[in-house]
Structure 1
Amino acid sequence: MLLRSQTAVMDQRPGEADEAYQARMLAWSTETKKRADDAAVAAKKKAEDAEQARLLALEQQRQHDEAAARAADEERNQSCEKIFSGERALLTMAAEWRTEADNGKLEDCENKIALLLSHLTDLLATCITQQEDIHSLNGSLAKLQSRLQQLERRPVVAPDASSSNTSNRLEALEMHVGSLQDGAQFQQTAMQQLQQRCSIWGAARADPSLGQQIVELCAEDLKLLLAHPIDATFRRHDTGLKNDLVRDRLIRHHTVRDGSSGTPSGGTPKMTRELIDLLTHRSREQRLQIGNSYRSLFGRYLAQDIRHCTNSHVRDGLLSLIRPVEVRDAEWLHRAMKGLGTDEHVLREVLCSRTYDEIEKIKAMYVEMFRRELVDDIKGDVSGKFCKILTKLVSHPRSKAPVEPVRALEVARDLYQATQGRWGVNDKCFIDVFTGESLPQLSKIFGLYKTEFKESIFHALDKISGELHKTLLYIAMCAISTPEFFAVMLRKALGGSRVDKNAIIRIILTRCEIDLEDVKEVYNFKYATSTDSTPLQNAIRDATSGEFQELLLAAMGELDS
């Protein structure tokens, strides 16, 4: 409540003319409004500064956590290397002693056994340290799972920058702990056996005649130790071994194209080529069956092993091949809106080129994967007319009625009238028509529009600006010819100043079983020259290289044998 002293300024002064009083009140109200606006601006800036400081603190914490994780990984690697060095020393020692025993030259058994016990003690201490590491990781995983369950029970709110990749980190931690635990039980058994052997070897000091027998027993136990627990527990973290494991599993389940079922040798490049050959020469249904069989046979997800054994765009391309369509599209839409900024091009490309039935499946999968409604994320990430048309694409089904020429002519005339208004284009008319009519009906409308008014629908769309113009343009291109739409998008991805590899993946590796042959034909027809009759294949060879190029050409059926 304002005091009388604060409102006295609003009273008309004695002898003050009405005009002067009104002018003074206007100036006072203007000044008051300016002060309020300045205060609001200052408060907004303070809030923005606080948010930037919070995000900076989160980023610094993330960097600190990553550095700590790298340090922990390095320490584990050093422990593993120490065990491997101990393995090699023990194996060499056992081989030398066995040779001496075979030649009857084994001498000084007591000192050799003492040396062996020293090596074994060191090796056991390192193994115990690894066991403690396993228990520590297991505890961390339990805490993360508890925390994630708590977060899932909370009401859905805007995603926080610090939790955007919690699921990915938890999945990686689960895999790491699982890998360590796979050989933990066998390792414990082996260590117990070694401790029993140590007591036997200690007794040998009192009876030198047992030397040769002990050495032979030692060699057998070392073979058992080296063949199983250390390999199973630690060496599986080696990238090359992982690659061989995935390759062998895939080849055992599904032979490569030439029918061979053996296990070829080679490093990561050869493994990746075999993955490319296997996955690009199967239909999507067959790839899904392979993924399900892989899970049931080996207890692992094929996508996880591909993610760990390949890199960058090759990994993204292979994952696009093995994932269900709705999973792949939901992931792309989520990426387009995750974090700071929005990739409007991806939102337009995916939503404008899918049928409403496909969008319904994407919406259901989006909720299952991210616990959020797709339409809510769109409304929270974009605004204005762009938000309105995307919302209608996601929320309102298109008409399924057959093509009606008479009605198409009426709609064409409505669109033309919508561009002739005194106050500009009637955007609502275009949004309603482009999102409500079926694509065949839209194609008919555009044809009659050109016949009736001697200009294409694209001329009308040029009168609309911004993201709405681009979205309407995408819908129109898909209605007229979907293969031509993707040919134009592919040209843009390949021919710009920067090659858009993600867009190339979205087009080539997702249309390869739908209409890629038509896309190739349209592309080569539109962009062929007198010296280049296959511009698409040549453009891919110029814009990409290595395994990524092989993947794209194999999906197109253009990879040289």
Structure 2
Amino acid sequence: MDPEYFQSYNMCWGTLGTVRPFPNFHPDRDVMEIQAALEKKDAVTLVRILTNRTNAQRQVIADTYEEITQKDLAVGLKKALSGELENLLLELLMPPLQYEAYRLQKAMAGLGTDEETLMEILRTQSGEKLREISAVYKQLFKNDLEKDLKGETSGDFAKLVVALLNKEDVAGGVQRDIQSLSATLNGKKAEAGPWIDILTSRDSDHLNKVLDRLELEKGQVDQALEEKFSGDIRLGLKVLVQCIKNPEVYLAKRLVNVKTPILQGIMVPHAEEDLLNIRAAYLKLTGTSLYTALQKQYKGDHLQALLAICRSED
């Protein structure tokens, strides 16, 4: 790992991310190294540079590379690399909004829809960010995100994802919301409408109060949802509740025994935000650090890239 990385702790004291702004950043110097590494297919150098820069710094590198070489850096990476390492470094090069739009599209592509990834992104992004992601999605894929979501989902789950996409915080009384949700659990089959309306239109502090007091009355909300709902809407509401109560624990659970796209889909966007919290939740959940778990599952240059994003043992 580049020793200058450790100096960046002084620049970003208190951050919950693992990737910090690289000190003494010289994009021209990085581009020269990258250009030589691409010619030699030197994955070690490419990993060292691209995992030790923030996304903003990577955008500067990509722009500088294009100015100097008249070529696209992403195209160069595709020619020099392959497999999982190629995918990871290309993901690191994407601006954050583009990356989330790409993840949403990928979750809907092919034969089956990855409902949980849709829920993860739609719940963990703010309403403002989702509007920006929708605009980028339309630009990239020439389709309307809301229409695509409706086309790939159905029933109450479709209503839930659309409500999340268009969410705006609406004031509500805690007691009134508790009564509305509690009433839906009294019959044999619960009505999804009040859950969708409330869980997608209140801020997290409000919802935590509602869920805490509802659990005092009805027991574990997760268990109630399991018993009263079925299919995609059950999954969707359970993900919502888990994300509201503790998003880091929910994301740590997703990292356990998952496929590479889901792992990278969490590590890449959270590396500069709260990956330290997710790492701590993972350790508490599994008894093993994420750093150690990665070494058991991956190998080679791809492993080194993932470890560089993770950064260290806990």
* Residue deviations 1:465-497 (CA, integer Å, cap 9, x gap): 11111111111111111111110111141xxxx
- Aligned-partner residue type, residue 414 of structure 1: S
Post-superposition Cα deviations, 1:254-287, rounded to whole Å, max 9, x if no partner, equal 349xxx999689953xx11111110111112111
What's 1:457 paired with? 221
Unaligned ranges ≥5, structure 1: 1-250, 494-499, 529-533
Matching residue's letter, 2:253: V
Distance (whole Å) between structure 2 residues aligned to residue 502 and residue 261 of structure 1: 25
Go from structure 1 to structure 2 and tell me whether the alpha carbon gap of 1:264 and 1:359 turns closer, same or farther (over 3 Å shift): closer
Aligned in 2, Cα 1:446/1:262: closer, same or farther, shift over 3 Å? closer
Q: Does 1:473 align with 2:238?
A: yes
| Residue 491 (1) aligns with residue 256 (2) | yes
- Does structure 2 retain, via aligned residues, the 8 Å contact 1:342–1:381? yes
Equivalent position to 1:294, from 62, 65, 71? 65
Aligned-partner Cα distance in 2 for 1:301–1:441:
46
Q: 2:91 aligns with which of 320, 326, 330?
A: 320
Task: Note the 1:135-534 alignment, pairs <5 A.
Answer: 253-255=28-30, 267-268=40-41, 271-394=42-165, 396-399=166-169, 407-421=173-187, 424-451=189-216, 453=217, 455-462=219-226, 463-493=228-258, 500-528=259-287, 534=288
Write the mapping of 1:88-99 to structure 2, written as runs, cut at 5 A.
none
Shift of 1:400: 6.0
Q: Distance in 1 between matches of 2:159 and 2:27?
A: 51
Task: Give yes or no for contact 2:181–2:195 (8 Å, CA) kept in 1.
Answer: yes
Distance 2:160 2:185 in 1: 18
The whole-number CA distance in structure 1 between the counterparts of 2:67 and 2:170 is: 41
Q: Residue 127 of structure 2 aligns to which amino acid in structure 1?
A: Y
More helix by proportion, 1 or 2?
1
**Residues 337 and 263 (structure 1), Cα distance of their counterparts in 2 relative to 1, 3 Å cut:** closer
Aligned partners of 1:425, 1:265: CA distance in 2, in Å?
57
How far has the Cα of 1:337 moved from its partner? 2.0
> 1:425–1:464: 8 Å Cα contact kept in structure 2?
yes
Query: 2:73 is aligned with what amino acid?
Result: L
- Judge conservation of contact 1:484–1:522 (CA < 8 Å) in 2: yes
The answer to whether 1:546 aligns with 2:300 is yes
Cα separation, 2, equivalents of 1:474 and 1:372: 26
d(CA) in 1 for partners of 2:76, 2:68: 14
Distance 1:427 1:263, change over 3 A: closer
In the aligned structure 1, how far is the partner of 2:135 from the partner of 2:84? 27
**Contact kept in structure 1, 2:37 and 2:43, CA below 8 Å:** no
Cα 1:558/1:254, change in 2 over 3 Å:
farther
Shift of 1:419: 0.7
Superposed displacement of residue 546, structure 1: 1.1
Match in the other structure for 1:557: 311
Residue 425 (structure 1) shift: 0.4
Identity across the alignment (%): 25
Q: What residue identity is the alignment partner of 1:369?
A: L
Name the count of aligned residue pairs.
286
1:273–1:428 CA distance, 2 compared to 1 (3 A)? same
Question: Contact 2:182 / 2:218 at 8 angstroms: preserved in 1?
Answer: no
Cα 1:295–1:261 shift into 2, 3 Å: closer
Distance 1:400 1:384, change over 3 A: closer
Q: CA deviation at 1:408?
A: 1.6
1:412-432 alpha-carbon deviations (Å, 9 max, x no partner): 2221111103x5201111111
Shift of 1:538: 1.9
Report the Cα distance in structure 2 between the residues aligned to 1:261 and 1:340, rounded to whole angstroms.
37
**Structure 2 unpaired stretches of 5+:** 1-25
Pair member with larger Rg: 1
Distance 2:76 2:292 in 1: 32
**What TM-score, normalized to structure 1?**
0.48
Whether contact under 8 Å (1:408, 1:448) holds in the other structure is: no
Measure how far apart 1:252 and its partner are: 8.0
How much has 1:348 moved relative to structure 2? 2.2
Give me the whole-angstrom Cα distance separating, in 1, the residues matched to 2:84 and 2:36: 26
Q: Is 1:252–1:261's contact at 8 Å kept on the other side of the alignment?
A: no
Report how far residue 338 of structure 1 moved: 2.5
Q: Provide the C-alpha distance between the structure 1 equivalents of 2:94 and 2:27, rounded to a whole number of angstroms.
A: 21
- The alpha-carbon distance between structure 1 residues 400 and 310, as it changes in their structure 2 partners (threshold 3 A), is farther
